[in-house]
Structure 1
């Protein structure tokens, strides 16, 4: 059966890997990636992944944000090596910080398809990057040309999650330090936070912004939230609400990948504390204001920062392996 071909929209090209190397020095791992890595070994890889993501999205539109979040949780811990996909006790995936992650089945579905067409060729890490990239495009965002050639990690440890993960209660200083440790700038922090233009968060992710009154009702306690918006959140997340209750990250255009997120922040409608702090600090507010004024600027900036995110700590060459099953570190 021939794979279905789809028409691709214009691509935003990002060239961040043209590095000048001194003689006899090994190239950094990221410079060994290339957009044409599979041009001979698996030329249909991007179309096959895109079709898989599109099929899942047509059934469940929430899958887009889940795939984007899944990539972030993979890359921020020990690099973009697919280690968050591994199942089992003591793995990254088993850590409580990752218990709400989703979209694993989309990566596995694409992997099965690629193993049929190009056995032992495409890594789970590359599939996850492509899936997250396609998820943004499907929700109205830019299509980004990403370099490929990552290999999968053989180690996935829950102990690595907490020291590397970003918490929703972080200050700008804490956020900037965590991003800097991954080679990402303060501008990257603001730009990549724009991922919150789609998706939703559990009530527990922002419960610290509310208190329980004496009569048991939920009352806003954070002045950085616009009052009416805070009351809406309180009604959606009453005291005793189930851990499964969620609310949209973007109250205006929750299903569109656009720059509305930044307008929300300026209107004091940032859902998470780690969103709101971006407008309370002069180091990040200027960037928020600029991105709120121009969606084109946001999309161009997103393309650059997304590529930087997707190349954190990559394994290439003889490092890692090409796993047969994404959920298994050995298979």
Structure 2
């Protein structure tokens, strides 16, 4: 199953149609009159934080996934408090919140009560990709912020790194995302890092506490390097790069890594076991432009999952709490 690629003019029309049909009242240049500098402020905030901390782009990209897959793209992940999404263990390693909060504070000065935290998250993830060499993606805005954030909603709605293909397909399908979208959006792992605990299922520990590779779908040298970096310690602060080759650049190296059996997570490696996904992995590994064009389409779909518009939500004064 090969992802569809359109000429630029046709793709623009496709994007407009998709945004209108999938995301209700979202629109391009939504803030043109009410806050014309909104996207500029978010982009500058992302670039400023990223120049100080190279890990920020990967964190922002992970943040949008974890927000949009639970309650839709409504900034529910930003809400703080007991039993909110942030309190679930699966979200404790999610970062980038300070970037969103910083952009929000500036926007509240120039355009109070106008730009939603949900839009800031989507725009910041888009700008993070661009900041590290990825494609420029136009996305519609007009999302409103949700008022519900429950830890109990997290686990049933996010991908676990040990997921099988069937489990991932089922989850992505429930969000309106296709098999192609699954493969393309997995390319987000071309940047960012992961805690050793998130892929320990790929190794076994012997009686002397030494790690051994479990299974045969990881390159031996790569597996040895991971074991060396992680050791037998369960120290939760130890991390490794998702992409062992070009970890700070958004490119198609992720797919070349997969073909070399250097996919960090079990959920990465399973993409090679299905004939349909394997074909798309091959195509994307051999053509970065194809990856960028398809990323733009799939990212647009991701950031319009379950959006709230008009009276469905609110524009928070602070991303950390509802206005009530």
Report the TM-score range of the alignment, normalised by the length of the smaller protein.
over 0.9
Alignment correspondent of 1:172: 165
1:95–1:158 contact (8 Å) kept in structure 2: yes
Cα offset, 1:36, TM superposition: 1.3
Q: Is the 8 A contact 2:183 2:277 kept in 1?
A: yes
Q: Deviations over 1:187-238 (max 9, x none)?
A: 0000000000000111001101101122221111121001111011111111
Cα offsets for 1:35-76 (capped at 9, x unmatched): 111000001111000010111001101000000000000001
Equivalent residue for 1:281? 274
1:271 alignment counterpart: 264
Distance 2:54 2:102 in 1: 17
- The answer as to 2:139 corresponding to 1:146 is yes
Q: Does 1:290 align with 2:283?
A: yes
Q: Which residue of 2 aligns with 1:18?
A: 17
Contact 2:78-2:97 within 8 A present in 1 as well:
yes
Runs of 4+ in 1 over 4 A off after TM superposition: 10-14
1:235 aligns to 2:228 (yes or no): yes
Which ranges in structure 2 are unaligned for 5 or more consecutive residues? 1-7
TM-score norm. by structure 2 comes to 0.94
Residue 328 of structure 1, aligned match among 308, 321, 324: 321
| 2:125 paired with 1:132 | yes
1:291-315 C-alpha deviation (Å, 9 max, x unpaired): 0010000000000000000000000
- RMSD between superposed Cα atoms in Å: 1.7
Question: Structure 2 vs 1, CA of residues 19 and 215 (structure 1 numbering), >3 Å: closer, same or farther?
Answer: closer
CA contact (8 A) 1:18 1:31 kept: no
Q: Indicate the SS of the match to 1:126.
A: helix
Instruction: Look up the SS of the partner of 1:88 in the other structure.
Output: coil
SS in 2 for 1:52: helix
- What residue is the counterpart of 2:202 in the other structure? 209
Within 2, Cα distance between the matches of 1:86 and 1:306? Answer: 23
Report the counterpart of residue 59 of structure 1 in structure 2: 52
**Kept after mapping to 2: 8 A contact 1:156/1:329:** no
Distance 2:286 2:106 in 1: 41
Displacement of 1:240 in angstroms is: 1.7
Aligned length: 316
Q: TM-score, normalised by structure 1?
A: 0.92
Question: Conserved in 2, the CA contact under 8 Å of 1:13 and 1:144?
Answer: no
| Equivalent residue for 2:23, pick from 26, 30, 35 | 30
Retained in 1: the 8 A contact 2:197–2:234?
A: no
